[in-house]
């Protein structure tokens, strides 16, 4: 499972000319699932994401998390995070199949929503994502399937 976390001052996602998710300050996160990912990886990365301390404290140090602030979370499903670019045309054989990935995305979104308000994109839809990256700060979080 992979997350691309971008600290933003605002972000939104649009489907068919309609905004389906919108936040002010917080994280806009691209979420991708590999073929072997399970709820175990989702639980781990939910905890890691919510506790990631990349918001400034009173001393201008990255020392605060989503849980320490009133900031928001926008999750965008993104199967292309597992693209293999060995050849010029990307291959997506390492991405989880759409049915299982949609279920795991729903699970991950719900798990995060237990602790913080979550907005989200629509799985499988053509989405237009807009954001203003704050910093810029962009961090990749990853948890590989373990047997």
Tens-digit pLDDT profile for residues 16-74? 999 999 999 999 999 999 999 999 999 999 999 999 999 999 999 999 999 999 999 99
3 state SS of 79: helix
Q: What's the whole-model pTM score?
A: 0.94
Cβ burial of 113 (10 Å; 0-12, 13-18, 19+) is middle
Report the number of secondary-structure helices (H) and strands (E) in the chain.
2, 8
The pair of structure tokens assigned to 133 is: 């990256």
The domain limits of the chain are 2-142
For residue 97, what is the DSSP state?
P
Q: State in words which class domain 2-142 has.
A: alpha beta
pLDDT at 83: 85
Summary mean pLDDT of the chain: 95
Just list the catalytic residues.
78-80
Q: Which pLDDT value is given to residue 143?
A: 83
- In this prediction, residue 91 has a pLDDT band, given cuts at 50, 70 and 90, of confident
Does the pLDDT at position 137 exceed 60?
yes
């Amino acid at each position: 499972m992979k997350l691309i976390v971008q600290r933003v001052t605002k972000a939104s996602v649009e489907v068919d000319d309609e905004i389906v998710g919108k936040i002010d300050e917080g994280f806009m996160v691209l979420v991708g699932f590999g073929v072997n990912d399970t709820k175990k990886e989702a639980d781990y990365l939910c905890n890691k994401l919510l506790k990631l301390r990349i918001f400034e404290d009173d001393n201008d140090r990255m020392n605060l998390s989503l849980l320490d602030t009133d900031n928001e979370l926008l999750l965008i499903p993104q199967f292309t995070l597992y693209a293999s670019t060995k050849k010029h045309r990307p291959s997506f054989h390492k991405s989880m199949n759409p049915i299982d990935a949609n279920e795991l995305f729903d699970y991950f979104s719900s798990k995060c929503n237990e602790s913080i308000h979550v907005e989200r994109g629509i799985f499988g839809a053509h989405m237009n994502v807009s954001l203003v990256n704050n910093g810029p700060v962009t961090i990749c979080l990853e948890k590989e399937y373990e047997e």
